[in-house]
Amino acid sequence: MSSRLMRDELQDLYKQVIGKMKGDCVLFAHSGAHEAYKSLLEVASEKMCILQFHQEFPEERKPEVFTGRWVESIVGDLSSLPIRESALDLILYAFTSKKVTEINPILSEARRVLKDRGALLLVDWTPSSRLKPPDVDDLKRFTDAIRSAFGRLFKPVDLRIYRDYFIVLGLKENIN
């Protein structure tokens, strides 16, 4: 078992993915995963476009400023993103199991908005987590659905499973 922090694991993956990106646009959706978000901001270049996704937020919310860069907030539904096809290089879904009821449409939508060879990075609780995961039965269904659907839509390139969380990275490629 690794003694490294989740932040360190994520930074390694961010560096790996961002270093290969053709462009510079990232979508980040999370449910209170501030460490995952801070890790991205530490690795991302100053010119990188970062879209922070919210399923809901007050209308008066304005773009946030982090370390001198604008982080644009967008609102919508993860299964129907308000983003044009093949627009993003990287999508990060961190601990979204709390807000997700059906994973298949969300993964399909992520594939739609990613560029060719774009990457999807999922980080979420394991059912055995000692931290604050959602209902264990719901979490088991969520992780089983990811296991079933992910490989059909993305080429898995990295999988890291720890007691409290897992990280899976996949690329948008033609899957036969």
Can you tell me the distance from the alpha carbon of 56 to that of 77, in angstroms, rounded to the nearest whole number? 9
Residue 2, pLDDT above cutoff 70? no
- From residue 84, how far is each of 6, 7, 43, 80, 158 by CA, in Å? 31, 30, 25, 11, 27
- When pLDDT is averaged across residues 32-40 and rounded to a whole number, the result is 71
pLDDT at site 58? 43
pLDDT at site 43? 79
Instruction: Return the number of other C-beta atoms located less than 10 Å from residue 127's C-beta.
Output: 15
Instruction: Look at the alpha carbons of 153, 8, 160, 137 in this order and tell me if their dihedral is positive or negative.
Output: negative
Residue 111, pLDDT above cutoff 90? yes
- From residue 54, how far is each of 17, 26, 57, 81 by CA, in Å? 23, 14, 7, 11
Residue 160, pLDDT above cutoff 60? yes
Question: pLDDT class for 114, splitting at 50, 70, 90?
Answer: very high
Residue 60, pLDDT above cutoff 50? no
Q: What is the pLDDT of residues 75-104, one digit of tens each?
A: 888 889 889 999 998 998 888 877 777 889
Give the residue with greater pLDDT, 109 vs 43: 109
SS3 label, residue 6: helix
Residue 168, pLDDT above cutoff 80? yes
